[in-house]
Amino acid sequence: MKYVQLGKAGPQTSAFGLGCMGMSGMYGPSDRAESLATLHAAVDAGITLLDTGDFYGMGHNEMLIGEALRDIPRDKVQLSVKFGAQRDPAAGWIGFDARPAAVKTALAYTLTRLGVDYIDIYRPARLDPSVPVEDTIGAIADMVKAGYVRHIGLSEVGSETIRRAAAVHPIVDLQIEYSLMSRGIEEDILPTVRELGISVTAYGVLSRGLLSGSAVMGAGDFRAHSPRFQGDNAERNAALAAALQKVAQSRGMTASQAAIAWVAAQGSDIVPVVGARKRHQLEESLKALDFSLTREDLATLEAAIPKGAAAGGRYAEAQLAHLDSEKRKAG
């Protein structure tokens, strides 16, 4: 495993993070024993960055990680936690709350579910349009001073918000979608974070399984509502994935490994956060670290999936409209 510093103000972390969301049902049913085994296998492989959200399975994901941490020394991992998304008992998304009081309440529950004394990186999952970002970051900064949080991150916000947040407290990373299929950050957001010394923890590097050939797993799979998995879009994107697979095989890689290696090759300040909920998925993904892509390799991969070629938005239009990271496109 290779290790990098997360932003100019952040901790040393593995150059590869484990996204734990899928262990709590977002991609259909999951197996608790296999999830725990995967978490332990990740740590054994040298992964230190574990990413979760307090709304993944309504606390289930945090409790699962907390169970795994009983057998893992606390200083072996960095816990990255998103908060603020509001959900109803039917698992519907009903808003976002990043008021200072809500920040501190959410953190208290998170610490209890995980069974830890502090969170390494705490971040609002989205921008709350009714709360100045300065107030939200200020509340987290209070928790840094109190010792309950070590570092502050952001998620899915645009350049203006990043600058405003960084003026309140050092930001170590921006968590945002980035892959061969989703390259929107390259125009404006990526230059901004690099100017400010902020890393990117990139999720969706396999485009929610599109690039690995993963199929929608029924009604419990949130991808059933994703534009890229529907109708003609699904067929067009499958053709792109097939082109990637052909290029990857010619270089001794799987499509998944090629997609991960491409993201990792974009800079040491970009950490792929790969969602694996089974050990064999984790093992395949980790092998991407063994490949060093040449400029020719990168160009060939980008020719297989040209920038902007993906059919359909990365989220449904209603969700995209609420993403601060997407607002720059409307200007």
Domain ranges for the chain, please list them: 3-330
Give 260's contacts (C-beta < 8 A, 6+ positions apart): 16, 205, 206, 272, 274, 285, 288
What pTM value is reported for the model? 0.92
Helix (H) or strand (E) holding 158: none
Given a cut of 90, is residue 28 above it in pLDDT? Answer: no
3-class secondary-structure state, position 3:
strand
pLDDT tier, 331 (very low <50, low <70, confident <90, very high otherwise): very low
Q: Are 119 and 110 in contact (CB under 8 A)?
A: yes
3-class secondary-structure state, position 73:
coil
Worst-scoring range by mean pLDDT, 7-11, 77-81, 90-94, 179-183? 90-94
Query: Is 109 a residue of the active site?
Result: no
Q: What is the pLDDT of residue 267?
A: 95
Q: What is the pLDDT of residue 214?
A: 66
Choose the catalytic residue: 27, 56, 178, 203: 56
Q: What is the pLDDT of residue 30?
A: 84
Structure confidence by residue, pLDDT tens digits, 132-188: 999 999 999 999 999 999 999 999 999 999 999 999 999 999 999 999 999 999 999
CA atoms within 13 A on the CB side of 305: 31
Q: What is the pLDDT of residue 330?
A: 41
Q: Are 277 and 38 in contact (CB under 8 A)?
A: yes
CA atoms within 13 A on the CB side of 13: 32
How is domain 3-330 classified at the CATH fold level?
TIM Barrel (3.20.20)
| Closest by CA position to 136, among listed 70, 82, 179, 59 | 82
How far is the CA of 48 from the CAs of 10, 115, 122, 135, 281, in angstroms?
A: 14, 17, 16, 30, 17
- Both tokens of 247, joined, read 């290029």
- Compute the Cα dihedral for 230, 232, 236, 242 and give only its sign: positive
The CA radius of gyration of the chain, in Å to the nearest whole number, is: 19
pLDDT tier, 237 (very low <50, low <70, confident <90, very high otherwise): confident
Structure confidence by residue, pLDDT tens digits, 253-311: 999 999 999 999 999 999 999 999 999 999 999 999 999 999 999 999 999 999 988 87
Helix (H) or strand (E) holding 43: helix 32-44
Q: What is the pLDDT of residue 92?
A: 84
Kind of pairing, strands 199-203 and 171-177?
parallel
